[in-house]
Chains A and B, each alone.
Chain A
Amino acid sequence: MNEREDLGSGDVLRRLLSNLNPGPSGWRTGAATILALLVALTLSSLLIAVTGGSPVASVEALFQGSMSDLTAWSSTLLYAAPLLLVAVGACVSARSGLFNIGQEGQVLIGALAAAWVGLRLAITGPLLIVVMLLAAGLAAGGWAGLSSLMYRLRGVNVVVSTLLMTFVAQQIVAYAVNTPWLLQESRIGNAIVSPQSNPLPSSALLGSIGEYPGLQINAGLIIALIAAVLIAVAISRTTWGFKITMLGRNPLAAKHAGVRVTALGGAALAVSGAFAGLAGAVLLASPVGVNRLQPGLSMNIGWDGLLVALVARNRPLAAMPVALLFGVLRSGGGFLAATGVPSFLVDVVKALLVLAFVAPPVVVALARRRRSGDRTAGARREAAPVAEEAIA
């Protein structure tokens, strides 16, 4: 089987993605980003006004729900942790030139594995939570690795397969929580049972520093922060990180330099999935949810985490404040209902913000390429008569 230098993400997509990877950002990109942000904020305000709400009241509600007091901060930080974990994983795969967009499914697979360990394995003490986190990472890493395998064995595009595997993951989780012998909650008497698992035992929950309604720093956040720092260091200071970056920038050059392109790409994809799986375990075992496996447990954290990575331009450290911003939007979004603004508008605002951050570098790069193309064509036009004279 011949080596595929585009690693399954498609060459065009890889080139576009490379514009989002860290690199020298000129003033043009900065100015374009500020302009795009202004446009996004104006459009968001217009949308809020059109739906009958007040932009000022909406911003106030967002602030109240996310930052006005310690309770609100706790909620924001709880949401930020899984977002950051997904984003860190997405940074790894994107830096290697692979576009994993199946985090939503990988979050679910991680949560499924963690729930199974937490509810069905007779492990006692703190070891239980450790095994849960490991199982979540392994299962989701393996799940993402399947896409790599599909590409390796049958040439299936990684973008397509990671996306489609999300729907398979959703069906698997739905099956698990609808099947009594697997993970469906126990029936008590004649009560109707819901498609969800029993709640996790207290020994399977992630601990917190501080307690609701005071400031609550959950272990999930600490894990996410450590992961972000470790990956940032690994990417910038280790041979592995150098190889990953080289692979993302030019797989052909990486191959010629002796990098095992397919193996490293597959590993990057698996690492990306493992972090999404960890996020699933955090969602399941932290106070951000209700500590049960449910089909909707992922709450779009997988998709949003991917957006966090895009906005952070695949920098794990930059993903920290961006995850916090997305956490603010999530926790504040719960307060929007009081202003009469539909809470789904938060998603629209999020999308506009992401576009504002993601579009400028790509647009500037395309414009630069076009200009250099024009210059090359102009140079060719100017050179042509000279060449003709020379030939004559």
Chain B
Amino acid sequence: MAAGSMVGRTLSDRLILVAVIVLGIVMVAPIVWALGLSLKTNAELMVDTSSVLHAPYTLQNYWDLVIGSPVFRWFVNSMIVSLGMTIGVLVLSSLAGYGFARLEFPGRDIIFVLVLFGLAVPEQAVIIPRHQLFSELGLHNTYIGLILPGLSTSFGVFLMTQYFRAIPREVDEAAMLDNATRFQVFWRVLLPMTLPAQATLGIYTFLHAWNDYWWPLISGTNAQMYTVTVGIASTQINFAESAGLGFLMAQAIFAALPILIVYVFFQKYIVRAVSGGAT
């Protein structure tokens, strides 16, 4: 009985392992392919992209990137927008989460429901009025214009509210008996206790902001204000073009570096976030 159960378990473990490997390959293959393309000359790729499977390889595309591509400018734009949005979301979500979890004020529960309602509203539904509003306010082609819409995150407020609620009120009370002001209770006692949630929210916000394409495409119409996603897309003249493919891929790999670094260093928090704290 026990042996049978063990066999069954081993079999299911192996099936899961195979599925994980297949999924991993599906995820990684395009990145490896892009990396390979970026290491080939454009002339070779014009003839046949299968040349990526054999030598010679070159760093010429990366050198071209260094000496003459606007991708650095777009990279900086993306970095400013992503970091600005991440910091803004963390500050606002933490304050709002604390407020909803700990303060008592009229209409609190209704306001919280309204905030959660934001989870159900797709961006497509608000993009036109937002565009008109930002246009009238002259916020297009500015960093504020790129950052501001991303700060109102229902998910962030919800996550931080739930996290603050999970902290026993006795901790607040102990701090109050320790002569801490309300802000000290928030800043020095409770906020450090929410660091795991902050890390999760921060990483997700950063990744979302870095990968965002639609709003930067609408708001950043000036090439100087392109983010990497919009900028790289703008260099591709037509669909499935093969001219300059190696250079295009070098830009893409360069643009993806921060994302790869974030994934490598903050994997623990990403896993924790997607597993809902089950780890």
Asked if A pairs with B, the answer is no
